Structure 1
Amino acid sequence: MSGSRAQAVLRLEGVGRVHGTGPAEVHALHPVDLEVRAGEFLAVMGPSGSGKSTLLALAGGLDRPSTGRVLVEGTPLEGLSAARMADVRRRSVGYVFQSYNLLPSLTAAENIALPRELDGTPARTARAEAVAALAELGIGELADRFPEELSGGQQQRVAIGRALAGERRLVLADEPTGALDTATGEAVLQVLRARCDAGAAAVMVTHDAAHAAWADRVVFLRDGRVVEQAVRR
C-alpha cells in the first residue's frame, strides 16, 4: 500500500488485559502487537473465551489495557479524559455490538443520526447520512420505524448503519451478521468490504470461516493468545 492507504488506523503495542489478582488472576488477553492499516479488513476468529471481544473492546477504548497501549489514528488512548475518550470514539470509531444498543425512543434514522449530531453535524445533514446508510443496507424504507417495530435482523442493520454513518475511519464489529439470514449477512459484509476498499479500516469478530473470507487478513486467538495469522488477499 502507499499514501494514506498505508497509514495505520489502529495499532496495539504489547496490549494485554488481566482480570483479578493473585490466585484469581485471569489473562483475558496476553500481550499482543497488532496493526490495521487504512483500507484493510481484519477478521478475528477463535473459540468462545479466546479473547476476541476483549481485543475489540480494547481496540475501541471501551476497556483499558493492563499492559501496552492502543493508538487510533496515531492518538494514544491511555491517559485521555473520559470526555476526550468519548470524543475519539464518536469521531473515529464505529461500533457494531451483538446487543444492538438502540435507543427505544428514537426511530431507526434518529438512532443513527444522534452520534453525528453530538459531534456537531447539523441535524439535516445527520438525517441525510442516516437515511443513506439505511438505504445502503437495504432498509431505507424503515427510517421512521422504532426499534420495537423492527425484527432482530432489521435492528442489527440499523446498528451497523450507525457504525458506518459519517467519516469514521475505524469500524469494530462483534459478530455483525449473527442475527441475519445468509443473504442479508452477505450484503452487510459487502458493505463493510466496500468501506475498507474506500479507505476505512475494519476489525470484525466472527466464528464463521465463510464470513472471514471477506477479510484481507485473519487473526486466530486461543486462550487469550494470538496463535496464527493468515493473509487472504
Structure 2
Amino acid sequence: MPAEATAPPVLELRKLTRTHGAGIAEVHALRGVDLSVRAGELVAVMGPSGSGKSTLLTLAGGLDTASAGQVIIEGQDIGSLNRKQLSALRRRSVGYVFQDYNLIPALTAAENIALPRELDGVSVRKARKEARDALSRMKLDEVADRFPDEMSGGQQQRVAIARALVGDRRLVLADEPTGALDSETGETVLAMLRARCDAGAAGVMVTHEPRYAAWADRVVFLRDGSVVDQTFSADAQSLLSAEGAK
C-alpha cells in the first residue's frame, strides 16, 4: 500500500466521461468515473469486454480527450496543457504499456526503450545503458539489437514493458501487460511492476486475469463505463473469486 496515504494522488480522475457518436448512435464508453491512485499503489482494473477499461487508460495517459471531467497527473490538469506540454508530461511522468506494443519498426529493442529518455534530454549513452539494463531485468539481453519484426510477440511485449518502466516515471499505465506471455513470464512482469510501485510509482493495470489482479493493492471493477465495485488487497482474493464466478 502507499507509504503516505495522505499524500496527493499521482493520478486523479474526476467525473471522467467519454462518449462516441451522437444521437441514436451515441455510445457511453465512460460515465463519470472517479479514481485516485497514490504513489506506491498498484490498481488493477477489471470488467467485461466493452466496459471501458482501455478507454480509462487512454484518457489517463493523455492519449485521448475526455468528453467531460478531468485527468490530473501530479497536480496538473492535463486538459489545460497544449500539445507540446502534454507530450513533455507523458515522456517525463507516464510510462504506458500498449496492448499492441506500439514499438517503432525502424528502431531496435534498445533504441525503442531509450528513445523517450533521449527526447527528454538524457544523453544517448546513458539512455542506451538504461535500456540495456531494463532488457537484462526482463531477461531479454539477446534482443537488444533486434528490430521488432525479428522478435516474437512475447518478446515485443516485454520490450514495451521495459520501455514503460525505464527512467523515473511516476505513473505507469499498463493495458493487458501479460496478454502475450506465458504464466511464468507474466509473473516476472508483475513482480517488476509491483516493485516499481513499491519504489514510489503509481500504477494502473488493466487485466482480465484474477491471478495477476491479486498483485494489486486495489481492484476496481468497471461495467458499462461505470465503477460498480472495488476492493482492497486484504479482500481482493475473495472478491476476485466471486467476480470470476459471475
Q: TM-score range by the shorter chain?
A: over 0.9
Which residue is 1:146 aligned to? Answer: 147
Which residue is 1:195 aligned to? Answer: 196
Alpha carbons 1:5, 1:38 under 8 Å: kept = no
Alpha-carbon distance between aligned partners in 2 of 1:204 and 1:3, rounded to the nearest angstrom = 21
How far has the Cα of 1:105 moved from its partner? Answer: 1.3
Please give the secondary structure, in 2, of the residue aligned with 1:102.
coil
Which residue is 1:98 aligned to? Answer: 99
How far has the Cα of 1:75 moved from its partner? Answer: 0.6
Alpha carbons 1:42, 1:204 under 8 Å: kept = yes
How far has the Cα of 1:2 moved from its partner? Answer: 5.0
Alpha-carbon distance between aligned partners in 1 of 2:6 and 2:120, rounded to the nearest angstrom = 25
Please give the secondary structure, in 2, of the residue aligned with 1:8.
coil
User: Is 2:84 the partner of 1:83?
Assistant: yes
How far has the Cα of 1:67 moved from its partner? Answer: 1.1
Alpha carbons 2:11, 2:38 under 8 Å: kept = yes
How far has the Cα of 1:111 moved from its partner? Answer: 0.5
Question: TM-score, normalising length from structure 2?
Answer: 0.92
How far has the Cα of 1:83 moved from its partner? Answer: 0.8
How far has the Cα of 1:5 moved from its partner? Answer: 8.4
Matches within 5 A, 1:40-119: 40-119=41-120
Q: Which consecutive aligned stretches of 4+ in structure 1 deviate over 4 angstroms post-superposition?
A: 1-5
- Flag the 1:5–1:214 CA change in 2: closer, same or farther, 3 A: farther
Aligned partner letter, 1:71: I
Alpha-carbon distance between aligned partners in 2 of 1:223 and 1:98, rounded to the nearest angstrom = 20
Aligned partner letter, 1:158: V
Alpha carbons 2:96, 2:172 under 8 Å: kept = yes
How far has the Cα of 1:118 moved from its partner? Answer: 0.5
Which residue is 1:163 aligned to? Answer: 164
Aligned partner letter, 1:100: Y
Give the count of matched residue pairs.
233
Which residue is 2:174 aligned to? Answer: 173
Alpha-carbon distance between aligned partners in 2 of 1:141 and 1:20, rounded to the nearest angstrom = 46
Which residue is 2:242 aligned to? Answer: none
Which residue is 1:21 aligned to? Answer: 22
Task: Map Cα deviations across residues 141-200 of structure 1 (whole Å, 9 max, x no partner).
Answer: 321111122111001000001101101000000000000011001100000000000000
Alpha carbons 2:130, 2:167 under 8 Å: kept = yes
Alpha-carbon distance between aligned partners in 2 of 1:183 and 1:2, rounded to the nearest angstrom = 29
Q: Please, which moves more after superposition, 76-85 or 140-149?
A: 140-149
**Unaligned residue ranges in structure 2 (runs of 5+):** 235-246
RMSD after superposition: 1.3
Alpha-carbon distance between aligned partners in 2 of 1:60 and 1:108, rounded to the nearest angstrom = 22
Identity of aligned residues (%): 67
**Unaligned residue ranges in structure 1 (runs of 5+):** none
Question: TM-score, normalising length from structure 1?
Answer: 0.97
Aligned partner letter, 1:49: G
Please give the secondary structure, in 2, of the residue aligned with 1:221.
strand
Alpha-carbon distance between aligned partners in 2 of 1:2 and 1:105, rounded to the nearest angstrom = 41
Aligned partner letter, 2:83: A
